[in-house]
Structure 1
Amino acid sequence: MDRLAIKGLSVETIIGINPWERETRQPLVIDLELQVDTQAAARSDKVADTVDYGKLARRLRNLIAQSRFQLIERVAETIAGDVLGQDQRILAVTVCVTKPHAIPDTTVSLTITRPRTLSET
């Protein structure tokens, strides 16, 4: 299966469990890998035959920026659910959420993979 990647999608949102984190937007960096068959797009050379990664990136940036989270686990699940819900051609998604300032001088990240289930097809 083909893999389409979006890497380094930066977005600021309210995230964290500490009181100061609930008041100040913090940066997150999102990396996505989509399992999708790109053969139709390769033959037609038309964006309509593939996942429009520009639209996907804009939608995810807006979704995360307008939401509030306590945990990066919730951010990752929110992204995975949105991606799988938007385009039936996506068979699975891997999401990596990085919180650069979670701990001083340290970057924390979480990576999840969610396949499309039979009930979602």
Structure 2
Amino acid sequence: MMFILGAFLTGGVVGFAADRVVSPPRPNVFSDRAMVDELARELKLSPDQRVVIDSVWDWRRKESREIMKTVRPTLDAVRDSARVLMMNPLDDAQKMAFRALLERNQRSADSTARARGETK
């Protein structure tokens, strides 16, 4: 049982980390634009170069989202399994606090998705 618990928890942590690496949380789509603007300033891009960089950036974002569509269900399943296993050792008060934390995080994620123009 401990081995299975360890495997699920490790999978949850790895899945969470992979999700953050592949799709780091951003407060809104404007931060993407700000990063490209900063890149353009730092590299002193010409207008023609900027068009290419913008196109590549948009392509990368689109491709990353498509990849995440195929991976997300597996990551979600691992996350959900880990949450169930984490609930087991908690007392009733801790379970309530954990659920409240999850709900707060979900509201924050939903707000971020809305700001980025994403829908589920």
Highest relative contact order (Cα 8 Å, sep 6+), 1 or 2?
Answer: 2
Structure exhibiting the larger radius of gyration computed from Cα positions: 2
Q: Which has the higher strand share?
A: 1
Q: Which has the higher helix share?
A: 2
